[in-house]
Structure 1
Amino acid sequence: MSARPKIDTAQRRARLAMRHLLAPAHRCTSPEQVAQAVVALHATDPATVFLSTGARLDRPGTAALERALYEDRTLVRMHGMRHTLFVFPAELAPVVQASTMRKVAEKERRGLLAFAAEGGFDAAWLAKTEQRTLAALGEAGQATGARLGELVPELREAITVAAGKPYEAKQTIGVRLLRVMGMEGSIVRDRPIGGWTSGQHQWALREALPELPVAAAQAELVRHWLASYGPATEEDVKWWTGWGLREVRAALAACEAVPVDLTEGTGFVLADATDPVPEPAPWAALLPALDPTPMGWRQRDWYLPTENRAELFDRSGNIGPTVWWNGRIVGGWAQRADGELALEYLEEVGADAEAAVAAEAAGLQAWLGTTRVTPRFRTPLERRLSG
C-alpha cells in the first residue's frame, strides 16, 4: 500500500498564495477571475467585495466589478453558506441554490407564513402581495424596499414581534417577504443607492435558476471549494458549507477527494492536486474585514497563531482587516478619518516584510483616495488603529 501524501504547512501557504491570487505573480485582470479563484466573496459588508477583489487585481478599481455585478451579470449577490450574503460567479448560483439555499429558503418561507398569520394575514393574502411585488418590480426595473412599499402598500403592514417582552418590536411584512424572495431566487440585490460602500441596495427581478439535484450540487460545490481551499479537513468543509457531517462526507466521496496527511490530521484534496506546487517569491497583502481567505477554514493555526486571534476577530467570529506576509497573518490595518492607513504588527517580521507591506499600503491608500471605509463588524485592533 502506498503511503498517504503529506502536505506540510509551507505547501499550504504556497497554494494559498497561488490559488487565492495574493502573490503579485498570480494576481489577475478581472473580478470574474477573482470570484472563481475564491469561490465566494463575502458581501455582508458591501465594501468587502470591492476591497477583496482589489487586493487580487493587477489594477484595482471599482468600475469593472460594478459592471460585472449590475450590467453583465457575470457575478451575482445572493445568500449562501451559513445564511451569509456572498458574491458568486453567476454559473455557480444554481449550485449554491440547490446545495444550500433551497432548504434554508423553505424554512424561511415557513417562518414568513407563521409571521404573517400572527398579524392576521393568511397564505392567500401573502401570495397576492408577492405577485403584486413582482409585477411592480418588473415595471419599475429596480427599486429599494422603501420604494416597493410605496408601490405595494401591503408591504408596509407591520406586525408586533416578541409582544410583551423587553425587546418587543414591530416588523413590516416587506422586510421579511423581500428577504425570503431573495433567498428563493425570484429577486436579486441590485445596484446600491450611493457609492460602492453603501449598504442600501435596490432589488431587481431575477431569471429562474435551473433545478439541480441536491447531492450533485453539493458535490459540485465541494469540488469548486477544494480546488481553491484544499487541503482541508472535514471540519473545515463542514464549517464553510454549514452542512451536516453526513452531507460533507457524501460530497467528498462524490467528488473523489483524496485524503492527505496534515499537521492538523487528515485533510482532503482533489485527485489532481497531490503534487507539490512551487514556492512563490516573498509576498505581502492587505486584506479587508471578512475577506474569504482568512474566513476560509475552521482550523486556522497554519496561518494565524491562536494568541493573535482576540485582536483580529469580533465576538461573533468575524475577522477584521489583516496584514499578510508569505501566507501568514502577521498584523492588522485600519483607515483613519483622514484617509491614512494605520498598520500594527502582532509579531516581528523583519525589514523586508515591512517594506513590502508598506508598498501594499501605499497602493491601497492611493486607490481608495477620498473614500472612507469602516468595517461593519469592528474588531479590537481595527478600532484602536482607526481612532
Structure 2
Amino acid sequence: MIEMSWPQVSARRLERAGLGAGRPATGTGLATVEGPAEGPVEGPVEGPVEDIVAAMCGAHAQVMSAAEASIGLRADGVTRAHVRAALWGEGRSLVKTHGPRGTVHLLPARDLPMWVSAMSSLPGAHTAAPKSIRMTAEQTDQVVAAIREVLAPAAMTIDELSEAVIAATGPWAGDLVMPAFQGWWPRWRMVMHVAAHRGAFVFGPVRGRKVTYTAAPELAPVTDGLGALVRRYLAAYGPATPDQFAQWAGGPVKWAAQAFSAEELEEVVFEGKRAWVLAGDTEVPADPPRGVRLLPYFDAYVVAGRPRELLYPGAAAARALNGGQAGNFPVLLVDGVVGGVWHQRRSGSKIDITVEPLGDLTAAQLRELDEQVDRVGEVMEGRPRLTIGPVTVGGHA
C-alpha cells in the first residue's frame, strides 16, 4: 500500500489548487476534474474563472469580497471584475447558490446539475428545533415547489419571495418561528438551502442593496452527481476519508461512505492512517511545499484541508481556528501550513493589509509577502499598504 507524508500531500493539494510555487498564470493546469456529463475535463472549459472555481469545488461566498479574492489569487491577471462578469454578465458562467454545508457558494454554471444531483441526495437533515415548529417532508416539498413556481417569471427580494411562498402554501409557512439576527424568520426559510440543493433557485443580481433570488438556469439533469462530486473532491483534496468528505459536504458519514464505496478508489496510508484517492491517482510533487500565500475568509483550501492539526500546527490552531472551525480568520500560508493571520480594511481605493506572522519570516519570504499584498491589491482593484503586526479583529461569525 502506498504511503504518503504530509509534505507530499500538502504540495500536491497546493499545486492542484493553483497555490503552488509554480502556479499557472491563466487557470490552466489546475486539478484534473471530472465533468458532470461528458467525462474528464482538464484545463479551462469556458475560461479560467470557471476552471478555478471547479478545481476549488466551489468558492465560499457568504463574504463576496472573500470569494473574489479566493478566485483571483489563484491565477495571475484575474481580478474581481472578471469574477463579477462571470457571475452577472452575459452568459452567467458562474452561479451563486447554497453549496456544501448549506452555505452560500459560487459554482460553475456548467456544474450546477452535478451539484443539484449530489446535494439533493442528502438525507433529511437533523434539526435541533422543537418538534412543534419543524416542517414535515410534505411541507418541505410544498415550499420547494412554490419557490420554483413563483420565481419562474421573475427575480424577487426575500420579502417578495416570502409573501409569494406563504400565499402558495398556507399561513403555517409564515409563522415566525426561526430565530435570526435578534428577530424571527418565517417557518418556510428553514428549508431554503434544501430548495437551492434541489435546483429551485439561485441568487439573482442585487437590487439596490437588496439580495434577489431567481430561477436556476435550465440544464440537462445528471443522475450520478454525487459520484462526480466525490471524484472532484478527491482530485482536489485527497487523500481523504468518508468522514472528512461528510464534514466538508455537510452530510452524514453513512451517506458519504456509500458514495465512496460506489467509486473506483485506491486506499493509501496517509501519515499512518487509512485514506483514499482516485484509483491510480497517487502522484505527488518531487519537492515539498514552498512559498507564502494570503488566503481570505473561508477559502476552500483551508475549509477542506484536513487533518486540521497538520494544516494548523502548534500555535496556529489556537490563533487561526475558531473552536476547530477553519475559515473564520484569513490566513497566511507559509510552506504549506498556516503560519499567521491577516486582515484588510478598505477606504476608497486604499487597502490597509495587516499581517500577523506566528514566527519570523526570512528575507525571501518577506519579499513573497510583498508580492502577495500587491496581488491582493490587483485582484481587489485597490492600492494596498502592508503593515506587519498584531491583527486585532476577531474571527468572522
TM-score range, shorter chain: 0.7 to 0.9
Q: Which residue of 1 aligns with 2:176?
A: 160
Contact 2:23 2:75 in 1 (8 A): no
Give the Cα–Cα distance (whole angstroms) in 1 for the partners of residues 94 and 280 of structure 2: 27
Q: How does 1:145-156 map to 2 (within 5 A)?
A: 145-148=158-161, 154=167
TM-score, with structure 2 as normaliser: 0.76
Q: Deviations over 1:88-113 (max 9, x none)?
A: 22333222222223446x669xx9xx
Q: Is the 8 A contact 2:237 2:304 kept in 1?
A: yes
Computing the radius of gyration over CA atoms, which structure comes out larger, 1 or 2?
1
Note if contact 2:9-2:239 (Cα within 8 Å) is conserved in structure 1. yes
Q: Secondary structure at the match of 2:309?
A: coil
- After TM superposition, where is structure 1 displaced by more than 6 Å over at least 4 residues in a row? 150-153
Contact 2:113-2:219 within 8 A present in 1 as well: yes
Give the Cα–Cα distance (whole angstroms) in 2 for the partners of residues 298 and 15 of structure 1: 13
More strand by share: 2
Secondary structure of the 1:383 match is coil
Structure 2 CA distance for partners of 1:178 and 1:39, relative to 1, 3 Å: closer
Which residue of 71, 76, 79 maps to 1:61? 79
How many Å separate the matches in 2 of 1:323 and 1:50?
17
Unaligned runs of 5+ in 1: 373-379
Residue 365 (str. 1) matches residue 381 (str. 2) = no
Change (3 A) 1:252 1:382: farther
- CA distance in structure 2 between the partners assigned to 1:267 and 1:11 by the alignment: 14
Question: How far does the alpha carbon of each residue in 1:230-284 deviate from its partner, in whole angstroms, 9 at most, with x for none?
Answer: 1223432232123333333332232211111111511211123213324378422
Residues 336-369 of structure 1 show CA distances to partners (whole Å, capped at 9, x for unaligned) of 3552101110123322112211221122134435
SS in 2 for 1:272: coil
Q: Can you give the 5+ residue segments of structure 2 that lack an aligned partner in the other structure?
A: 28-47, 385-389
Alignment partner for residue 255 of structure 1, among 257, 260, 263? 263
- Bigger Cα displacement from structure 2, 307-316 vs 142-151: 142-151
Give distance in 1, aligned partners of 2:395 and 2:158. Answer: 35
Structure 1 position 23 matched with structure 2 position 20: yes
Q: Displacement, 1:116? A: 9.8
| Residue of structure 2 in register with 1:340 after alignment | 352
Change (3 A) 1:56 1:176: same
- Residue in structure 2 matched with residue 375 of structure 1 by the alignment: none
1:269 equivalent in alignment to 2:281: no
Q: 1:13 corresponds to which residue?
A: 10
Using the alignment, how far apart are the partners of 2:200 and 2:260 within structure 1?
30
Deviations 1:193-212, CA, capped at 9 Å, x for gaps = 46xxx7x4211112456554
Residue 41 of structure 1: aligned partner: 59
Equivalence for 1:85? 104
CA deviations 1:176-220 (Å, max 9, x no partner) are 5765543431221122346xxx7x42111124565544xx43222
Equivalent of 1:206 in 216, 239, 246: 216
2:261 & 2:134 partners in 1: Cα distance? 42
Map 1:271-290 → 2, pairs under 5 A: 271-279=279-287, 282-290=290-298
- The answer to which of 85-94 and 144-153 deviates more is 144-153
| Counterpart for residue 328 of structure 1 | 337
The AA in structure 1 aligned to 2:177 is V
Of the structure 1 ranges 253-262 and 358-367, higher mean CA displacement relative to structure 2 is found in: 358-367
CA contact (8 A) 2:9 2:284 kept: no
- Which residue pairs with 2:198 in the alignment? 184
For the structure 1 residues 300 and 116, does the alpha-carbon distance in structure 2 shift closer, same or farther, using more than 3 Å as the test? closer
Change in 2 beyond 3 A, CA 1:240/1:278: same
Once residues 107 and 266 of structure 1 are traced to their aligned partners in structure 2, the CA distance between those partners, rounded to angstroms, is 28
Distance 2:134 2:167 in 1: 11
Q: 2:185 aligns with which of 167, 171, 174?
A: 171
Provide the rounded CA distance (Å) in 2 between the counterparts of 1:298 and 1:281: 16
- Within the candidate set 157, 163, 172, 1:144 is matched to 157
Q: Distance in 2 between matches of 1:128 and 1:32?
A: 31
SS of corresponding position for 1:343: strand
Structure 1 residues 162 and 203: CA distance shift in structure 2, 3 A: closer
CA distance in structure 2 between the partners assigned to 1:49 and 1:322 by the alignment: 14
Which is richer in helix?
1
| TM-score for the superposition, normalised by structure 1 | 0.77
Please identify, of 40-49 and 220-229, the stretch whose mean Cα deviation from structure 2 is larger: 40-49
After TM superposition, give the deviation of residue 6 of structure 1 in Å: 1.3
CA offset at residue 289 of structure 1?
0.7
